[in-house]
Amino acid sequence: MNEKLILIVEDEEDILELLEYSLQKEGYETIGFLNVNEKLEKVLDEEKIDLIIMDRNLPGIDGTEFINKIKERGYDTPVIYLTAKDKDEDILEGFDAYADDYITKPFNVKETLARIKAIIRRSNKEVDVLKVRDIVYKAANKKFYINNEEIILTHLEHNLLLEFIKNRDILMTREHLLETVWEDSYDKKLKTVNVAIKRLKAKIDPDGTKDYIKSIRGEGYLFC
């Protein structure tokens, strides 16, 4: 199984069904939408999407507008435009709007699957941006942002938050965090983990409303 999740936004239901069927047959998971709506944005916030296949001729919006918007918010998911807009200027416009590939209709299913595999394989080599909810990590400068504002962290807090983000929704014990984050530090005590997490929470969630890091009594911590 590929265990990769592909988001498809396509307003022609028969094409959407064909894409979902073909991709699922190859072992991919899919989520399909016929238009851009609040549920779509919620999926982007809650799921780890490996690829977006985006039509451009959508009800009320050009798909490039939506992609531009989410890219400006920090999403770094690869994008394929699959669209009837096939003029040279349309294709150039698509690549200017963050396209990793541009496929015009009518399309060949086998060729499209090959292009999808190539992009996913390429994007797996290096992750430049990680995003969980409204926290964005940019590997290029090793900095975290919330709503485009940099979060000032110590070296330890940086490594701790990165470990949490890489293991979203996975319960991590204090012992695990000590081994992976503190490494060879002389101050490797379970109590140290509690203090560091308390300080980290104060920086990323000062008013306590977002509840990124949950303490599971007697077990450890969960970042969600």
- The maximal CA–CA distance of the chain, rounded, in angstroms, is 63
The answer to whether residue 30 is domain-embedded is yes
Parallel, antiparallel or unpaired: strands 101-104 and 79-83: parallel
Residues 16 and 72 in one domain: yes
Which amino acid type is present at position 45? D
Write down which residue in 105, 123, 141 finishes a domain: 123
Residues 187 and 162 in one domain: yes
Residues 87 and 39 in one domain: yes
The reported pLDDT for the residue numbered 31 is: 95
The reported pLDDT for the residue numbered 183 is: 62
Residues 11 and 104 in one domain: yes
The answer to whether residue 148 is domain-embedded is yes
Q: Are 4 and 50 in contact (CB under 8 A)?
A: yes
> With b meaning 16 or more CB within 10 Å and e meaning fewer, what string describes 150-159?
ebebeebbbb
Write down which residue in 123, 141, 158 finishes a domain: 123
The reported pLDDT for the residue numbered 1 is: 45
Residues 75 and 148 in one domain: no
| Residue 135 C-alpha from the chain's centroid | 11
Residues 23 and 81 in one domain: yes
Better pLDDT: 44 or 1:
44
Residue-range definition of the domain harbouring residue 169:
133-223
Residues 138 and 202 in one domain: yes
| Mean pLDDT within 138-159 | 86
Residue 215 clears pLDDT 70, i.e. is over it? yes
Tally of structural domains, the chain? 2
pLDDT > 70 fraction of the chain, expressed in percent and rounded: 93
Write down which residue in 81, 100, 123 finishes a domain: 123
The answer to whether residue 61 is domain-embedded is yes
pLDDT per position as a tens digit, 76-133 = 889 999 999 999 999 999 999 999 999 999 999 999 999 999 888 877 655 567 788 8
- Write the CATH number for 49: 3.40.50.2300
Residues 105 and 214 in one domain: no
The answer to whether residue 128 is domain-embedded is no
Residues 14 and 45 in one domain: yes
Residues 219 and 167 in one domain: yes
Residues 111 and 142 in one domain: no
| Mean pLDDT within 46-65 | 92
Q: What is the pLDDT confidence band of residue 188, given thresholds at 50, 70 and 90? A: low
Question: Is the model's pTM score more than 0.85?
Answer: no
CB-based contacts of 116, cutoff 8 Å, min separation 6: 6, 23, 28, 51, 53, 80
Residues 168 and 206 in one domain: yes
The reported pLDDT for the residue numbered 41 is: 83
| Mean pLDDT within 9-18 | 96
The answer to whether residue 67 is domain-embedded is yes
The reported pLDDT for the residue numbered 93 is: 93
| Dihedral Cα 189, 193, 195, 201, nearest 10 deg | 180
Q: What is the pLDDT confidence band of residue 171, given thresholds at 50, 70 and 90? A: confident
pLDDT per position as a tens digit, 14-54 = 999 999 999 999 999 999 999 998 889 888 888 889 999 99
The answer to whether residue 145 is domain-embedded is yes
The reported pLDDT for the residue numbered 85 is: 94
For residue 17, the tally of other CB atoms under 10 A from its CB is 13
The per-residue pLDDT of the chain, averaged, comes to 87
Better pLDDT: 116 or 184:
116
